[in-house]
Structure formats: structure tokens, C-alpha cells
Chain A
């Protein structure tokens, strides 16, 4: 996971919005390629650099110039954690799609849409809810 740094606090919500739309289209069309695309996006954000995520770059180039006001900054660790959770869901969905196990694909995609939509629409902090519970269980 990347080192803590400051990023534009609005970027993760916009990215979650794009993610929600992409996941819905992928689920509706049972598109393996679109699912793999989303898996790659999550992988870049979670393992390489969250600022290099294609949705983050799109936000920076297209959305941010149209927003006014000061840039609110936040720690990059919470959104990186959320991208890691997304990666887990979509990895399962991709395996489901590649093995034509469409029930697995559908459940994993639905779970990821649930989380991405909550993040985008309500600024829901997934890391706050599950990170500590996970640690309490496994440590």
C-alpha cells in the first residue's frame, strides 16, 4: 500500500460514482472485458498509486476545473483501503465471469455496486466500519 499522502478529498467520491456506473453496465451486459477493466482500475489505485487511477485522472482533467472553491485535502489511506476492498469484490466477479459462473459474478458485482454507490452518494466511510472489526477478529 502506498505511503500516506494528501489528495483532493472530492476525487474518491467522483471516482466511486464512475465506478458505480461502470459496474452497473458490466453487470447488465455480463461484460467480462468491462469487469477486467474495473479490476485493473482498482489494482492501479490500491497497489500502485491512487493518483494514477484513470478515474482520478479524469476527475483532475475534466471535473476539477469546473468546481469552485478551495481544494479540501484528505489522507489517502482511507480511499486506498476502499479501493482494495473493491479490488477483492471485482476479483471474485472476474473469476466468476471467466469460469462462466454467473451467480458468483452477479453476487460479487452487486456487493461492489452497493459499496461504491454508498461511497459516492453518502460519502460513506467503508474503512471506518470494517477495518477495526477485521482487526478485532484476526488479531
Chain B
């Protein structure tokens, strides 16, 4: 009986976690603390004229491929915005500096390399377009 209750509780908790994760996936969160600044040498690429979409990926991450496909599909519609994808594992220093906790994490940088906001989890096309239109 106790084990049955444990199973019910575990399934309910997992459902809660799953629903919250689904709701927050790809959501754009504005960064209020405008530090630290990223440099072009850190991302081994030049910044876009109006913005840079910096995506962190990792090997054990299926949604990273979906995120890449969406970003590569949307970014060319916005001249002046550049997409840079970095392997999180190979760029741990930057990952720690930017406090990236999971993949995919997409960070939006202004032309000076200051973080404007970020989305965790693969963003939907409409979410991404809405963010990029602000630049």
C-alpha cells in the first residue's frame, strides 16, 4: 500500500515537473543585470551589427538540434543578426561566466556583447521571431 502511494506521488510530481518544463521551454527571459560582457574572442566570431544569437549545445542533447534548425531558419530573415553555436563542454569558462546550466540555452547579445536576455530549451519559431523583431 505504501509503495502504491509512493508510485502515485512520483507520477504526480513528474507530471508537474514535465508541465512546468514544457511551459517554460524556449521562453525569453530579459536579463536585468547587464554584466558580464562577452567578447568576440570568447565566442571566436564577430558580433552581428544589431544582435548575436549565441546558442550553447552539448552532445547528450536532442533538443539542441531542434533549436539549431529553428535558429538557422529564422536568423537569415534578419540582416544584421548573427547566429553562433558553441559546444558547452568545450567552452566551460564561458559557460560558468554566463551561468549556463543546461542545453540548449540561447543567449541574445547586443552589438557590444552585453546579454539582453536568454531562452532555455528549444525555442519555437514564433517565440524567436518575436524576440529578434525587437532588435
- A: residues with CB less than 8 A from B are 4, 9, 24, 27-28, 30, 74-75, 77-81, 106, 110, 113-115, 117-118, 121-122, 124-125, 127-133, 135-136, 139
Contacts and interface: CB of A to CB of B under 8 A. Distances in A.
Contacts, number: 95
A46 B95 CA distance: 27
A17 to B, nearest CB: 13
Interface stretch (B32-40, B47-55, B56-64, B107-115): B56-64
B7 A128 contact: no
A131 B61 contact: yes
B69 interface: no
A47 B7 CA distance: 28
> Max chain B CB contacts within 10 Å: which of A9, A74, A125, A136?
A125
Nearest to A131: B60
Given A78-B62, A131-B60, A110 B6 contact: yes
B89 to A, nearest CB: 6
Contacts of B62: 9, 74-75, 78-79, 125, 127-128
A9 B62 CA distance: 9
A78 B64 CA distance: 10
Contact of A133 (B15, B59, B102): B102
B58 A127 contact: yes
26 contacts: A27-B7, A74-B65, A75-B59, A75-B65, A77-B59, A77-B60, A78-B59, A78-B60, A80-B60, A113-B10, A114-B13, A114-B14, A122-B18, A122-B22, A127-B60, A127-B62, A128-B58, A128-B61, A129-B102, A131-B60, A132-B100, A132-B102, A132-B103, A133-B102, A136-B96, A136-B101
